């Protein structure tokens, strides 16, 4: 079985790592952590394809620790039990790191199980998440981990990655035919026994199946490069996978022409062989179609788009969260919010595959519920005035006379509990935001 190009090109030291200079540059936290061999539990929060998994592997390799890689999508409590058992048995005296990708997909019970082992140092945890850990990681576990925020890669950093892929596929040539010399892989700072120096293009490991690497040159059209960078939206994996797919589907054509064209990349992107990308455009198109179908009370369409997201492995909490917002934004009955929150809680507690039934039941309810955007529209009008006029003076009769001086200044004077007069600031007196739906 061939090794995916993204894994084949995965950097193994900080010298090879692209991006996140605020963390990995000399004097920054991750650099100093490796230099001092001071590993502690941490969370990496950042968008897809920004280097979370790679950075965790670099830390473990550089410090010389056993690396356990788990995905919260497929792993469970039993997997963690086996790891804890082996660690306590002393099989890894040098220490270990447990990397848990998409930790936000672990429910509260699963995160609770991790807590005592993180607390007593049995497990050094590195969790990775695309969601705000303040909302997705339980408080006790969050307080025992250092949170590092990773940014999406810049256009320049994505271009550097494109050059690395081209070098790997074409034997060391980037756009314009300028050959970048291979560099020896250096050990990370303060690390003994790290991988030996290997002369490879940009320090990248080999291992990808033969494709275009025997070519003398491989170029990419400037328009194709620009399009690729824009398409990536800072996601390195998307760029690497697209170029890998282009190589696999059209390797002979690229080899013959010695370049990758814009038309070829667009054709590759349309290929049915590409997998659904939950972080890409299809992700947003599908959730948009789901919400618009519920707004139109079209049960069949809403269930279809829900099924597409579930089948693609979309985070159930992402779907449920949008349903909670929809319940207040578009539905007339306040019971809808209760139902949507119950669906969110069920997804949080149960997880896949059973929670798809909760999502389906909630979707049908929200579709059939009467629709009314009056509250949402009224709030947006009020918010618009706040942004336009700032904090206008609050009428004196509404102010609370906490002290006698405030009372002498007229605070609370003339206040009536059940008045019918406008209580808005003077500049907005008499303005109507809320219009009840007939």
What are the residue boundaries of the structural domains of the chain, listed by start?
19-149, 155-269, 281-368, 374-428
User: What would the mean pLDDT of 90-112 be, rounded to a whole number?
Assistant: 91
Q: What is the pLDDT of residue 190?
A: 33
**Quick one: fold of 155-269?**
Helicase, Ruva Protein; domain 3 (1.10.8)
Is the CB of residue 321 less than 8 Å from the CB of residue 344?
yes
User: What's the whole-model pTM score?
Assistant: 0.56
Question: Tokens for 384?
Answer: 């618009």
Is the preceding peptide bond at 353 cis, omega within 30 degrees of 0? yes
Q: What is the pLDDT of residue 345?
A: 96
Is the preceding peptide bond at 224 cis, omega within 30 degrees of 0? no
Question: Tokens for 280?
Answer: 């890409």
**How many CB atoms are located within 10 Å of the residue 384 CB?**
11
> What are 135-154's pLDDT values in tens digits?
889 999 999 999 999 999 99
Q: How many CA atoms lie within 13 A of 62 on its CB side?
A: 30
User: What would the mean pLDDT of 203-222 be, rounded to a whole number?
Assistant: 52
Whether domain 281-368 has CATH 1.20.272.10:
yes
Q: What is the pLDDT of residue 175?
A: 36
Is a pLDDT exceeding 60 seen at residue 105? Answer: yes
Compute the distance between CA of residue 222 and CA of residue 227 in angstroms, rounded to an integer: 9
Contacting residues for 318 by C-beta, under 8 A, at least 6 apart: 287
Domain 19-149 homologous superfamily, CATH: P-loop containing nucleotide triphosphate hydrolases (3.40.50.300)
Q: What are residue 429's phi and psi, to 5 degrees?
A: -50, 130
């Amino acid at each position: 079985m061939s090794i995916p190009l993204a894994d084949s090109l995965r950097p193994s030291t900080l010298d090879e790592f692209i991006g996140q200079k605020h963390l990995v540059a000399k004097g920054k936290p991750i650099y100093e952590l490796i230099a001092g061999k001071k590993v502690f539990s941490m969370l990496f929060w950042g968008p897809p394809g920004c280097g979370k998994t790679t950075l965790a592997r670099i830390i473990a390799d550089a410090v010389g620790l056993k690396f356990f890689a788990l995905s919260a999508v497929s792993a469970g409590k039993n997997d963690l039990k086996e790891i804890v058992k082996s660690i306590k048995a002393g099989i890894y005296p040098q220490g270990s790191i447990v990397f848990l990708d998409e930790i936000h997909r672990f429910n509260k019970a699963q995160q609770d199980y991790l807590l005592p082992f993180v607390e007593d140092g049995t497990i050094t945890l590195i969790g990775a998440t695309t969601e705000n850990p303040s909302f997705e990681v339980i408080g006790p576990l969050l307080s025992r981990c250092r949170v590092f925020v990773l940014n999406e890669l810049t256009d320049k950093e994505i271009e550097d990655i494109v050059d690395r892929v081209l070098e790997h596929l074409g034997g060391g040539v980037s756009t314009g035919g300028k050959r970048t010399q291979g560099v020896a892989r250096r050990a990370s700072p303060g690390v003994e026994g790290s991988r030996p120096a290997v002369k490879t293009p940009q320090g990248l490991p080999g291992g990808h199946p033969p494709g275009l690497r025997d070519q003398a040159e491989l170029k990419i059209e400037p328009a194709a490069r620009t399009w690729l960078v824009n398409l990536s939206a800072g996601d390195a994996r998307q760029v690497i996978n697209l170029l890998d797919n282009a190589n696999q589907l059209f390797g002979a054509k690229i080899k013959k022409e010695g370049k990758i064209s814009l038309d070829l990349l667009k054709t590759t992107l349309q290929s049915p062989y590409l997998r659904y990308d939950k972080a890409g455009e299809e992700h947003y198109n599908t959730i948009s179609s789901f919400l618009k179908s519920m707004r139109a009370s079209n049960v069949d369409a809403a269930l279809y788009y829900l099924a597409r997201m579930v089948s693609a492995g979309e985070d159930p909490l992402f779907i449920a969260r949008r349903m909670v917002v929809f319940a207040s934004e578009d539905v007339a009955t306040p019971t809808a919010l209760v139902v949507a929150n119950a669906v969110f809680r069920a997804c949080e507690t149960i997880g896949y595959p059973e929670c798809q039934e909760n999502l389906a039941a909630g979707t049908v309810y929200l579709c059939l519920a009467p629709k009314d955007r009056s509250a949402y529209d009224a709030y947006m009008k009020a918010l618009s005035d706040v942004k336009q006029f700032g904090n206008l003076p609050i009428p004196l009769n509404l102010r609370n006379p906490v002290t006698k001086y405030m009372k002498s200044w007229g605070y609370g004077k003339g206040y009536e509990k059940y008045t019918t007069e406008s209580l808005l600031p003077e500049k907005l007196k008499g303005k109507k935001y809320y219009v009840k739906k007939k």
